[in-house]
Amino acid sequence: MTIERIGVIGAGQMGNGIAHVLALAGYDVVLDDINKETLAKALERIDKNMHRQAARGLIKDELIAPALKRIRVTQALDDMKDRDLVIEAATEDEATKKKIFQELCPRLSPNTLVATNTSSISVTRLATATDRPEHFIGIHFMNPVPMMQLVEVIRGIATDDTTFQAALEIVKRVGKTAAYAEDFPAFIVNRILQPMINEAVYTLYEGVGNVEAIDTAMRLGANHPMGPLQLADFIGLDTCLSIMQVLYEGLADSKYRPCPLLVKYVEAGWLGQKTGRGFYDYRGEHPVPTR
């Protein structure tokens, strides 16, 4: 199966990153979002990030203008009708994703493949909201997409070999490495990463260490490039909580119980960098721990 025209639904942090790497790889991209302002910011961010890559010698300057021309933005799902593949990169909420698929699929060609960028939700279950479970697959890019080299590829129970091979080819063409994951809650990376972050929040909650001590300990003691609480703020505390809830409900094991402090931060709307406050306060010149 030859794929050249790809649609991306959701122009937030993940969606614009996916559009970025697809366009650089030569794909014709349509980027959709219900929010016009989000679409405008996405194009600005893609432009900025491509120039940042060029400044670091990661890509050539002459690739930027043609890549940007390959991205077209829209607020109409009807513009996905000529796509060979559509990748959903909306918020990590099962009901939202299923609603998108139900509205999207009637607009597509019968042969169009559909993928989800979900970081934790069952691909098999999401496929039931489509009219093509055999042509549905999980393609989970890591954040930030332009920089991270791994992509998890997750087959649902009905996903056929043609769809799987097409997904692997896309990952290869954008210059990344595929890791095949079985369709279990949170797959591989988040199955390991999020409980670590949750345990760091428990360590904070129980007063074992403050924010700065915990992040410093893991940076210098475990040689992590970023402390777990700083990483949680980067990912988004709402996303971290959502993934822990998927693990807790899907595996029925108390070790995955979300920390009450994580729940409290999300209830307060302190979701991390995107809202200006999380385990750090980002509203000043430098991030300041909030506990």
Tell me the C-alpha distance between 17 and 143, whole Å: 8
- Pairing of the two strands 113-116 and 85-88: parallel
Query: Alpha-carbon distance 211 to 217, whole Å?
Result: 10
CATH fold of 5-181 reads Rossmann fold (3.40.50)
Residues contacting residue 65 through CB under 8 Å, at least 6 positions apart? none
Question: Backbone phi, then psi, for 72, in 5-degree steps?
Answer: -120, 135
User: Do residues 32 and 11 lie in contact, with contact meaning Cβ atoms separated by under 8 Å?
Assistant: yes
Domain assignments of the chain as residue spans, ordered by start: 5-181, 190-289
Yes or no: say if 116 and 183 are a contact pair by the CB < 8 Å rule.
no
Active site residues: 119, 140, 152, 190
Give dist(CA 36, CA 51) in Å, integer.
Answer: 23
Q: What angle do CA 112, 117, 122 make, to 5 degrees?
A: 95
Q: Which residues, 6 or more positions from 16, have their beta carbon under 8 angstroms from its beta carbon? A: 31, 42, 43, 45, 46
d(CA 228, CA 233): 9
What CATH number belongs to 190-289? Answer: 1.10.1040.50
In this predicted structure, what is the pLDDT of residue 1?
A: 73
Tokens 């559509």 -> residue:
86
Amino acid at 176: K
pTM: 0.91
To which residue do tokens 């996905």 refer? 80
Do residues 143 and 235 make contact, with C-beta atoms less than 8 angstroms apart? yes
pLDDT tens, N- to C-terminus, the chain (291 residues): 799 999 999 999 999 999 999 999 999 999 999 999 999 999 999 999 999 999 999 999 999 999 999 999 999 999 999 999 999 999 999 999 999 999 999 999 999 999 999 999 999 999 999 999 999 999 999 999 999 999 999 999 999 999 999 999 999 999 999 999 999 999 999 999 999 999 999 999 999 999 999 999 999 999 999 999 999 999 999 999 999 999 999 999 999 999 999 999 999 999 999 999 999 999 999 999 999
Interatomic CA distance for residues 47 and 33, integer angstroms: 18
Both tokens of 178, joined, read 């595929």
152: part of which helix (H) or strand (E)? strand 150-155
